[in-house]
Structures are given as C-alpha cells and as structure tokens.
Amino acid sequence: MLGRNGTVGKAIEVLDQVADHGRPVRFSELLDGSRFPKATLYRFLQSLVGQGMLAYDAERQTYMPGLRLVRLAHAAWQHSSLAPIARPHVDALAEVVREAVHLAQIDHGHVIFVDKRKKTNMFDTLAQTGLVAPSYCTGVGKAILAFLPEETRSEALKMQAFVPYTPHTHRSPRSLWPELDQIRDEGIAFDREEHEQGIISVAAPIIPDQRRVVGAISIATSTSRRSLDELKTLSPTLRETASRIAAEVQPWQFPN
C-alpha cells in the first residue's frame, strides 16, 4: 500500500496520467506511456471509472477525469489552496500593476501555480494555474525556498535537477545559496530570465504570523516591457499584498 508500488500509488499514477493528457484519451495512448501491462492498466481504469474518479465515453472510447474527482477537487481547492483566500488580493494587485500576477505554493520541492491574474492581453508567461514548475529558477520558488526551515530546504534542493533553462539559470545548490541568503535579508526574490528567456519577475513569500512560509506571490513581465529596476519599484506594493494575504491565512489550514 505504501509507496508507488502499492495499489493506491499505482491507481493515483494512472489518474495522473489521464489528467496530464488534458483531453479525452484512448486506452492505447495510455498504454503507450504506462509502466503497467495491458490487463493491469485496464483494470485500474475500470476501477477508477467505477469509483467516478474517471469517466469513460463509450462512443469514443476515451477516458477523462470524472465528476467525483471534480467534487474532491473542489474540497481540496477550498481547503488546501491559498487561491480562494488570496483571490481578491491577487486581483487587486493585477489591477494596480497591469502585469501578470502569480500565486504559488510549494510541494516537495516543486512550485505549483495555484492562481494567476493579468489584466492585459498583450503578454503572457508559460505559467498556467495548476502547473508545476521548478523552484530554483522561479521568483516564487526562490522566495519560498529562502524561508523554508533549513532541513526542508535541503530536501527540496535535492529534488531539483538544476536544468539550465537559460544561460542565467543556477546550475547547482551551491550557486543558489548566496542568493537565498540575500532573499531572506530583503524579503524579495527575482527571476532574472532564469526559467524563460525574456521573462523576469519579482516575488515575495507569504508567511503568516511568524510561522513558516505557505506560498509566494509574484509580478511577472517580459524584458521588452519592463526592466528589472522597474520591477524593483513594485516591491513595496508586492510585499504589502503578500502581508495582506498572510494576515488572512490561518496557518493550520494549509499542508506542507
């Protein structure tokens, strides 16, 4: 039962696989990317469909997330995500700064974008709500890493592959440490085109009432629109929004 080779772990893996397709998916497509034998995968799919976690379209022979998962989703969203509480603050910040605003949480060393707001159609980042990103080369990721307890941070850094997405990306934990120290000092993190070429951001951690960091919020833009120095001038507004969100968060509500 425990671990990825338990029955529960395997079922969740299948669930993830269907969800990751982002569209209805046929059995053979799932089989191609699966580590399970045909009969085993088939049985897991039948089981998840029977439980309502997946839905099966008999006409097109495709699988997709089911309404029981949608229902669970909602409960999870409301009680384990910053997004419901932070939404008005994220909206307000986006209105003021006229750039993309991201809200993220961390999960086993990876950043999960849980909300994103922008008020213009001119520009966008790759960040999509619900998506996972590395923590070592995103503003929100570094803002969170800097304020994690030492041991948790070490574990989180171990899980990073330090893929050099751009010439500016950190290549190792050792390279990153001095910057994390600086982030702790200033309470502000920057993404200097480290994750996406041409994309910069400024981020602040969300830390309720001297407790541990629960997430981070960032303002992201392109180098063609703004400079890093211009982003710096938005730091006070950003910190204030992060504080407001932190004030509303009840720390016991969130996982980590």
Partner DNA sequence: TGTTTGGTTCCATATAATGAAACCTAGTTT
Partner DNA sequence: AAACTAGGTTTCATTATATGGAACCAAACA
Residues near DNA (CB under 7 A) are 1-2, 5-8, 10, 26-28, 31, 36-40, 42-44, 46-47, 61
Nearest to 183 by CA among 222, 153, 223, 225: 153
Binding status of residue 11 toward a second copy by CB under 8 A: yes
Site string for a second copy, 20-59 (x = CB under 8 A): x-xxx------------------xx-xxx-xxxxxxxx--
Q: Which amino acid is at 39?
A: A
What does 19 bind: DNA, a second copy, none (CB cut-off 5 to 8 Å by kind)? a second copy
Footprint (CB under 8 A) of a second copy, residues 226-255: 252-255
- Closest distance to a second copy from the beta carbon of 58 (Å): 9
Nearest to 162 by CA among 151, 174, 178, 153: 174
Footprint (CB under 8 A) of a second copy, residues 83-112: 105, 107-108, 112
What does 121 bind: DNA, a second copy, none (CB cut-off 5 to 8 Å by kind)? none
Half-sphere exposure of 106 (CA within 13 A, CB side): 33
Tokens of residue 115, six digits = 């909300």
Which of 67, 126, 163, 247 lies at the binding interface for a second copy (CB under 8 A)? Answer: 67
Tokens of residue 119, six digits = 């008020």
| Beta-sheet strand order (sheet of 54-57) | 25-26, 62-65, 54-57
Tokens of residue 94, six digits = 């986006």
What does 16 bind: a second copy, DNA, none (CB cut-off 5 to 8 Å by kind)? a second copy
Binding status of residue 8 toward a second copy by CB under 8 A: yes
Task: Estimate the crossing angle of helix 150-158 against helix 139-147, to 10 degrees.
Answer: 140
- Are 208 and 245 in contact by the 8 Å Cβ rule? The answer is no
Please identify, using beta-carbon distances, which residue of 51 and 120 lies nearer to DNA: 51
What does 223 bind: DNA, a second copy, none (CB cut-off 5 to 8 Å by kind)? none
What does 169 bind: a second copy, DNA, none (CB cut-off 5 to 8 Å by kind)? none
Cβ-Cβ contacts under 8 Å for 125 (sequence gap 6 or more): 100, 102, 196, 199, 220
Please identify, using beta-carbon distances, which residue of 1 and 161 lies nearer to DNA: 1
